[in-house]
Structure 1
């Protein structure tokens, strides 16, 4: 029998979330997470996946993953530091370093793990972190875990960042200071002002950390936000995921050999969690090869992104100021946003609503993620549904 205190807490708070339109329903997929998905037997154009390049269902990745399972088994069998490091992991990390233009790289089980691991392995209670106010939850949690002083600066506000960097440096109370930013901000699709961030960091001798989860495979001909700005030799930590554009699962941090050597002996998710599976590692390596050797998938993704943005704007929707394929349709009020998403579902389009606390209250949006795998016909179907629902609800 469970605790009455727990039962009361859960019941009261679940009902509260549901009454305010903040309770998120999970819809299991019946089959692969491709450009068209099936939920409860209904086929839907899928605009909610982070599978930017369509690699999650790519036949080439499936083939090498199956071969890896046959040769290496389904699991790595141990943590990396005991005997869970396969030659496959070494190959992936060498490929990642080449991909990101750094001396070395380290792979983790998820992007969330990367931020929990790397920030707390380097920063401590005697340090300070300057963090963009719209940084991802995993950055926030990684900062908290480090026990460093967290100093938030206004979103992409370089005057605010410079003032706070100057104040932190001149106070003399911190051993180390780090600036952390997302490369691409996942809710609005805008890109960080990396050249200005690097300039400020150099002026005050501050470390730089870029979470490029949504930039890797998308910007910089696939190599990410740091490469996009030509700053591969100026950023101390390049973090990214292997689960979005790369299409598989996992994450990585790229940087100097000394940094990676330190993370291998001091970052807890690396030390205490079983390593990525052979199939995943092999599929990730294959995906990186495809991205590094051709821009075809990126070109398709950007063309689909441009088309969707243009058509939604023509209809009169507010799509914010996205500079990437991430295309928010901003509705505003939470319940209206949820209702809009449900109506799209009924019209054959899967585009999830995103509301508080993921985004600020009153800025609810339906987020669209066009990929290289979408056809123009699929996008046209989605656009027609948007027009119908938008007019029906009085949004356009």
Structure 2
């Protein structure tokens, strides 16, 4: 292959994506507050973000005043020193290396201790991102010869973690407990088994049947791992997550979640028994062989987490507005799929139709993205709306009028 055409195979594949209406591009976007963004010079209502509580919209500033000191909801440490460690001056923008190479800033250890108490687990370990957490956890606890049972609509990071583990994979039909049990019955006794599921499915917005999954994992001697990425900060009295809200904390073996969605920052965690955390520190390659999150990011996570706990109105508003918006879409004749959360898909079907719908929305000042295969199954392209606590009813009402008009123009409704 000559120098001039060495990337022709890339150009060919990209052209193929364009023909299938699966080509993607990046766009610079600025946050404008109260659920709005500025994209391509146009002000748009942001119905595409995972910033569910609206905590990531404004520039981050360290809190001050009485609420900023010793305000942890659950404390297992000496609060007299907590303020000194969690509110230092001059937190570093870089961490230098892996935590196992240079050690870690004290903000890590204290945050992990306090967040574990919040989750009701013995331990917690911070990862660089949700993707790194899932591939690190799954690929370290499973090996060749083990078996994993995964919901067909689980996130790509779960799928990739399973592939890296080399375990035998059984994909059960979405939320189909009978299918899952039939697969578990065929499993050899004594084999290491893991059931893994999202708590809230990111493209459909429905909830996993966690109580029933707990019963199955106990009946067949399996472990259960729950990804709380889209439920952390949203469910539970203080935002502990869906596992905690259902009273299943001590019966779920591994809880994983992110700080990049409802908490509006970045990073992820694994929470569970202390032996699990010890094991992951020693075996999870995506933790061992990567530079740690900057201490200032961990501090920002702590501050946003605390704010989400204090400001329970954000969760209340998110649930109320999501239910209202979903019912209004249904009343207009749209198919919102399985949604029962803040994630509300508008089911379209074809890729080109979904792209056309998204383009018309953006032309009308609404930021919403067409979700196409391979993110969702073939023939199930959609517009994925995700609401924020800070959206106003008047903005949402106006958006509904625009969505209805476009739906009629494109013969969706």
Same fold at TM > 0.5: yes
Structure with greater helix percent: 1
Contact 1:133 1:152 in 2 (8 A): yes
Q: Equivalent residue of 1:185, what SS?
A: coil
Q: Equivalent residue of 2:53, what SS?
A: coil
Give 1:375's aligned residue: 392
Give 2:147's aligned residue: 128
Instruction: After TM superposition, give the deviation of residue 220 of structure 1 in Å.
Output: 2.1
Instruction: For 2:97 and 2:35, locate their aligned partners in 1 and report how far apart those are by CA, in whole Å.
Output: 35
Spell out, residue by residue over 1:185-243, the C-alpha distance to the aligned partner (whole angstroms, 9 max, x if none).
11110111111111111011111101111111112231112112210000110000110
Spell out, residue by residue over 1:8-27, the C-alpha distance to the aligned partner (whole angstroms, 9 max, x if none).
21111111110111112222
Q: Equivalent residue of 2:144, what SS?
A: coil
Consecutive unaligned residues in structure 1, runs of 5 or more = none
C-alpha spacing 1:147/1:34, structure 2 compared with 1 (3 Å): farther
Consecutive unaligned residues in structure 2, runs of 5 or more = 65-85
State how 1:49-198 maps to structure 2 within 5 Å: 49-58=49-58, 61-64=60-63, 71-170=90-189, 174=191, 176-198=192-214
Match of 2:373 among 356, 378, 387: 356
Contact 1:34 1:56 in 2 (8 A): no
Instruction: After TM superposition, give the deviation of residue 265 of structure 1 in Å.
Output: 1.4
Instruction: For 2:411 and 2:373, locate their aligned partners in 1 and report how far apart those are by CA, in whole Å.
Output: 22
Give the length in aligned residue pairs: 391
Q: Which moved more, 1:42-51 or 1:304-313?
A: 304-313
Spell out, residue by residue over 1:288-338, the C-alpha distance to the aligned partner (whole angstroms, 9 max, x if none).
222334421101111221221122112111111211110100111110000
Establish whether residue 263 from structure 1 lines up as the match of residue 262 from structure 2. Answer: no
Instruction: For 2:87 and 2:4, locate their aligned partners in 1 and report how far apart those are by CA, in whole Å.
Output: 49
- List, as ranges, runs of 4+ consecutive aligned residues in structure 1 with deviation greater than 3 Å: 1-6, 30-34, 67-70
Q: Equivalent residue of 2:25, what SS?
A: coil
Q: Equivalent residue of 1:72, what SS?
A: coil
Instruction: After TM superposition, give the deviation of residue 83 of structure 1 in Å.
Output: 2.1
| TM-score of the two chains, using structure 2 as the length reference | 0.90
Q: Which moved more, 1:184-193 or 1:91-100?
A: 91-100
Contact 1:64 1:283 in 2 (8 A): no
Contact 1:95 1:288 in 2 (8 A): no
Give 2:227's aligned residue: 211
Instruction: For 2:3 and 2:346, locate their aligned partners in 1 and report how far apart those are by CA, in whole Å.
Output: 42
Q: Which moved more, 1:297-306 or 1:33-42?
A: 33-42
Cα-Cα RMSD: 2.0
Instruction: After TM superposition, give the deviation of residue 58 of structure 1 in Å.
Output: 4.7
Instruction: For 1:21 and 1:86, locate their aligned partners in 2 and report how far apart those are by CA, in whole Å.
Output: 46
Establish whether residue 331 from structure 1 lines up as the match of residue 331 from structure 2. Answer: no
Give 1:296's aligned residue: 313
Instruction: For 1:57 and 1:251, locate their aligned partners in 2 and report how far apart those are by CA, in whole Å.
Output: 19
